[in-house]
Amino acid sequence: MIFELAQRDRSEVAGLRRSLDVDAGYVSRILSRFHADGLIHRERSADDARRQVVGLTDRGRAVYRELDARSGDQIGRILADLSEEDQRRLVGAMGAVEAILGDRRSPELCVLRAFGPGDFGWVVQRHGAVYAAEYGWDATFEALVARVVADYVEGGRERGDAWIAEIDGEPAGCVFCVPKSERVAQLRLLLVEPSARGRGIGERLVEECVRFARRSGYDELVLWTNDVLAGARRIYQRAGFELVEEAPHHAFGRDLVEQTWRLTL
């Protein structure tokens, strides 16, 4: 009840009973005890004198802060023994429960994180599946992605980095920043899951890549893509990349136009 009272300056007692779904007599006894302890103040509603409104006093808010801190400490102890992976799974599971049982969907939590075990395999698998479904590209594209990932794991991490985007604990996108030369970095393997598009995830991934390249002292950030990837191209343009070269070619079982884009850092 103290938590509910802390969410607003004043609450009507009748509304408080409805929100908590508690017996009216029980609520009345608790409020009388709180009032005697100096935790709440009581008054009649300015709109309807038959209704009573209550609110926390300064002492009541101090009690709320203490209870809230103790609750946070208890949750911290529960989570302390969980691995990072289990914590992500827990967040995702809680989001699923809220989506199924809640009256409305809560805002989805999107975070960028470093790669963990299994993530590199996810990148290869999702690139192969998504590009086959959306563009009809054959398995040679998945093979290319696998080589890029292998090169990064075996040596590209010294002057590069990579990020996974997660929504409610589940992978939703990725991007890599790898060294192309001493002064030039390359953005590679930008992907956003179809179900997660339209939420700015691609922009966040590209921005993170650009920030990393600048912090690492590179002079330029380049990328290679194909003209059919219109959504990705718009993200690159908004980030300041400029098209410097394009040419027709045949790859991944399709006739395409390859493009090179560049950003001066």
- Exposure string for 188-211, b = 16+ CB within 10 A, e = fewer: bbbbbbeebeebebbebbbbbbbe
How high is the pLDDT of residue 107? 55
The full set of domain ranges for the chain reads 2-81, 111-264
How high is the pLDDT of residue 192? 96
- What angle (nearest 5°) sits at the alpha carbon of residue 227, between those of residues 221 and 231? 75
How high is the pLDDT of residue 108? 64
Question: Do 165 and 174 form a contact (C-beta atoms < 8 A)?
Answer: yes
Inform me whether the pLDDT recorded for 94 exceeds 80.
Answer: no
Indicate the SS3 state at residue 228: coil
Q: How do residues 61-82 score in pLDDT, each as one tens digit? A: 999 999 999 998 998 888 888 8
Burial status of residue 39 (CB atoms within 10 A of its CB: 0-12, 13-18, 19 or more)? buried
CA distance 98 to 104: 8
| Overall fold of domain 111-264 | Aminopeptidase (3.40.630)
Q: How do residues 133-184 score in pLDDT, each as one tens digit? A: 999 999 999 999 999 999 999 986 788 999 999 987 789 999 999 999 999 9
| Overall fold of domain 2-81 | Arc Repressor Mutant, subunit A (1.10.10)
- Exposure string for 224-234, b = 16+ CB within 10 A, e = fewer: ebbeebeebbe
